[in-house]
Structure 1
């Protein structure tokens, strides 16, 4: 046998291993992705160990990318677990960022409202409160309506316009306008009950807010609660005056599941 043929045969005995380079690059990228995802969120040590074991199983479970027989059911499950965990981590991180941004937005809106209240001497008539469910604006009924009526006072229209101008900065939020009364029964031709009075008051005030065409009516709703959600005992004039009110609630979109949520109508209770 000639030396040329002998060298040719020896060369053919070695398989082509050029695929190893892209394979190693792929494994490096996967490892980098795993480290980045882990760094994006704090997970408990147990979950980290499970992910590490699953990831190691993927890296060491087979003898080559072309050896399909090495992909057993455990490796497939590990792949699914990693994909699911990565998706959950990214979703949690995104939600946390959006919740933080929402908090900043609502705090900014509250400050605007508080500044307006102070500048216009309305501290006895309006109040704001930010909690884990909503930003609530409480307006005493005497600032909006004549006693026992539901037509908004002309001066109160200026207030409604100011509130609507602030709300238009946050057009994606759901807004609930709710009416409340004290427990003294009302019965006349226009309002057979406190339910009717509170409902019409909420509706009328909401309609004035929506004169601002920058607001989306689909985001607004009006509710009448009558006397059934008091914030103060009804056994004094002061208590009854506090219960007669209209509340404008800007509802959070990103609620913290770890925090007990307050009901929309119970923020004062």
Structure 2
């Protein structure tokens, strides 16, 4: 029998170094891709990507998790901006309220000085409240009994009031007429509704003779006997109830519960008055 020869085995070289080498090449390729991408995108996107990598490496979050984090940051920034705008709006409104209060106080002071100087304290009075500067004029200072025609000497009073109001032409003016509960039934005035409305309109017309006023800011309403200030059981009470009121309406009011709007409009009051003026 012949003996078989055993060829010596070829020794294979150690190839374990290929693993770290392939990892290194992969990282280099990723680096070159990032550098290339950074050279072709705008700065803001690059900075956003840089923050994403920084956040991922520092907090242990994956790069894919960064989307939610970025959205949270954007939402927080929008919330902060909204709060800042609200604060600015609140400060601006407070400044406007203070200026309006000052304007109405000055106007009331001027009206009171005119009333005192003219000896009209028993016929005119003013009141400044949270919604308006109210000028109340007794009917005997303006109209003959049962009439809506303003007395010739009383037209000067309406003109003087209009002259003082013209300093603040941007305010809305509401003129309202009121009577006592004594019935009236003439060809011109079938009821107190017509009498009070006509008196308010006639007084408003004299105010609008002043060219400084915009008629769009004026409205006249008749309430008849249905908004008395005093009892109609006495002559003095009925005399108090017969009046014309001129309201200079505030533009900026304090917020009320359940109402986010601070502004009051003439149209809302006018609608209320029209509803009240419908006979029942």
Same fold (TM over 0.5): yes
Indicate the residue corresponding to 1:232 in structure 2. Answer: 230
Indicate the residue corresponding to 1:190 in structure 2. Answer: 188
Local SS of the residue matching 2:174: strand
Q: Which runs of 5+ in 1 are unaligned?
A: 1-14, 16-22, 24-60
Cα distance change, pair 106–264 in 1 and its aligned pair in 2 (3 A): farther
Task: Give, in whole Å, the separation in 2 of the partners of 1:217 and 1:85.
Answer: 39
Q: Is 1:91 aligned to 2:95, yes or no?
A: no
Q: Is 1:159 aligned to 2:119, yes or no?
A: no
- Shift of the alpha carbon at 1:188? 0.6
CA offset digits 1:56-89 (Å, max 9, x no partner): xxxxx86779x99465221121011111101100
Q: CA RMSD in A?
A: 2.9
Indicate the residue corresponding to 2:17 in structure 1. Answer: none
Structure with bigger RCO (C-alpha 8 Å, 6+ apart): 1
Paired residues for 1:57-96 under 5 Å: 69=66, 72-96=70-94
Indicate the residue corresponding to 1:199 in structure 2. Answer: 197
Pick from 105, 108, 119: which aligns with 1:107?
105
Q: Which runs of 5+ in 2 are unaligned?
A: 1-34, 36-43, 45-50, 56-62, 271-280
Paired residues for 1:1-269 under 5 Å: 69=66, 72-258=70-256
Indicate the residue corresponding to 2:21 in structure 1. Answer: none
Aligned length: 208
Contact residue 134 and residue 264 of structure 1 kept, 8 A = no
Cα distance change, pair 155–83 in 1 and its aligned pair in 2 (3 A): same
Task: Give, in whole Å, the separation in 2 of the partners of 1:109 and 1:236.
Answer: 34
The structure with more radius of gyration: 2
